[in-house]
Amino acid sequence: MTRVATLTIDGKTIEVPILKGKCGPDVLDVHALYQETGLFTYDPGFTSTASCSSGITYIDGDEGILLHRGYAIEDLVEKCDFLEVAYLLLYGELPDGSQRESFEQSISRHTMVHEQLRTFFQGFRRDAHPMAIMVGVVGALSAFYHDSLDIYDAQQREIASHRLIAKMPTIAAMAYNYSRGCPLPYPQNGLTYSQNFLRMMFAIPAETYQINPIIARAMDIIFILHADHEQNASTSTVRLAGSSQANPFACIASGIAALWGPAHGGANEAVLTMFGKIGTKQNIPEFIERAKNKNDPFRLMGFGHRVYKNYDPRARIMRKACYEVLGQLNINDPLLEVALELERIALEDPYFIEKKLYPNVDFYSGIIFKALEIPTSMFTVIFSVARTVGWVAQWNEMMADPAQKIGRPRQLYTGYEARKLPKK
């Protein structure tokens, strides 16, 4: 028996069906509301709006739980590598031996980019922000595959998805090397996904590059922690772009653009800049007061989250990884002390407690990136490499849905009513 909510408007009562998911909040199905009442729902920022149904990722913000296809993020980080998690997000189950082998082989067959794509980089200044390069070059990929892509053919969607997952690390490493005047790298497919990325990023053609297993494992953990996160701003952007049946490479480019903002994926870069401004533990109280001051635009970057009103489980894993990686690499980074003290003070402050503001995934990630010698400008680029797996998984889920239709929200109109042009 379907649960219903009743809505009485101007004396007229309608029933709104309540749909139940596997876990998490049920939803009011308002798709017929306008037809039945002539009213829209109104929810700028989508604080109470489910934009779709999905079985990929579940977040319980109050409990600080993150599941990918039902598996807890803590277990996936401990027991899987990034390509296994990528397979899980795409296909719904962890791969067995042969599935893992054929998936890895398919990804490795698509790691190179068309040689002509390399000329796109020449159009950028050397000091261009690498996220600007990612938006441009990934969008340009659509020019290389547009004609061979029937997005309603599951197999062609799969190839496009594997191409994107495979090429993002290559393009990211090319953007980094372009910015420092080094040759644009080529992948080496005998390496793992993370090893290949690190080698493309840092190998100097004139020298042999040694893979550091500690750094490669840390990279894999970072990729897993950033792979997918329900209907966040960039994933929603990819879904909306994809709903118009746009080319998937163009859709992922739109996701990269949305991720770049400091309120979203750009926060990891902003966190490290913030730590630099704070400098020492002695300065923390001043910045905490600024973050609480409504008249001051300063916010504690890496803190707060639309969904998590508890500790972001990814931040907890990232903090643990900070200790492990800095310890194994014998790095003593004073910024870690600043971060830990900042977290301690904030979590004891009534402002942050009342507003349920906790560290999110971006709060500690920059410290690990720094230990891996990744420049700040590349932090969000790496986020976009990992999140491409989530974006393509969500895009495929949407495109495979026979009920899929173009997303077209309405508005509350607050402009002029109809008026005549003034006589000339």
| H or E element in which residue 37 lies | helix 33-37
Is 157 a residue that touches ligand SDX (CB under 6 A)? no
Residue 274 · residue 338 · CB < 8 Å = no
CB closer to ligand SDX out of 17 and 61: 61
Residue 376 · residue 269 · CB < 8 Å = yes
Is 381 a residue that touches ligand SDX (CB under 6 A)? no
Catalytic site residue 62? no
Is 364 a residue that touches ligand SDX (CB under 6 A)? no
Is 360 a residue that touches ligand SDX (CB under 6 A)? yes
Q: How many residues bind ligand SDX (CB under 6 A)?
A: 22
Residue 215's closest CA among 326, 314, 376? 326
Tell me the closest approach of the beta carbon of residue 44 to ligand SDX, in angstroms. 10
Vertex 235: Cα angle to 4 and 228 (nearest 5): 95
Q: Which of residues 254-283 bind ligand SDX (CB under 6 A)?
A: 263-265, 267
Cα distance between residue 360 and residue 264, in whole Å: 11
Q: Which of 305, 312, 349, 401 is catalytic?
A: 305
Per-position x/- string for 10-49, each x denoting binding to ligand SDX as judged by CB under 6 A, each - no binding: -----------------------------------x----
CB closer to ligand SDX out of 176 and 383: 383
In terms of C-beta distances under 8 Å and separation of at least 24 residues, what long-range contacts does 336-342 make, across chains too? 336/367, 337/281, 338/275, 338/278, 338/279, 338/280, 338/281, 338/284, 339/275, 339/363, 339/364, 339/367, 341/281, 341/284, 342/275, 342/278, 342/284, 342/287, 342/288, 342/300
Take residue 148 and report the two structure tokens written for it.
Answer: 């061979």
Residue of the chain from 100, 118, 281, 306 that contacts ligand SDX (CB under 6 A): 306
Residue 27 · residue 18 · CB < 8 Å = yes
Report helix, strand or coil for 4. Answer: strand
Tell me the closest approach of the beta carbon of residue 414 to ligand SDX, in angstroms. 21
Residue of the chain from 291, 342, 386, 398 that contacts ligand SDX (CB under 6 A): 291
Is 232 a residue that touches ligand SDX (CB under 6 A)? yes
- C-alpha torsion sign, points 278, 283, 286, 292: positive
- Greatest C-alpha distance within the chain: 79
Catalytic site residue 305? yes
CB closer to ligand SDX out of 306 and 320: 306
Take residue 373 and report the two structure tokens written for it.
Answer: 């010698």
CB closer to ligand SDX out of 47 and 332: 47
Is 359 a residue that touches ligand SDX (CB under 6 A)? no
Binding window for ligand SDX (CB under 6 A); candidates: 1-9, 15-23, 73-81, 353-361: 353-361
Cα distance between residue 402 and residue 214, in whole Å: 45
Is 227 a residue that touches ligand SDX (CB under 6 A)? no
Is 313 a residue that touches ligand SDX (CB under 6 A)? no
Q: Which of residues 97-136 bind ligand SDX (CB under 6 A)?
A: none
Beta-strand relationship, 12-19 and 3-9:
antiparallel
Is 400 a residue that touches ligand SDX (CB under 6 A)? no
Residue of the chain from 361, 372, 374, 389 that contacts ligand SDX (CB under 6 A): 361
Residue 359 · residue 16 · CB < 8 Å = no
CA dihedral 382, 204, 323, 327 (to 10 degrees): 180
Is 87 a residue that touches ligand SDX (CB under 6 A)? no
Is 317 a residue that touches ligand SDX (CB under 6 A)? no
Give the residue numbers marked as catalytic: 305, 362
What is the binding site for ligand SDX (CB under 6 A)? 45, 229, 232, 263-265, 267, 291, 299-307, 355, 357, 360-362
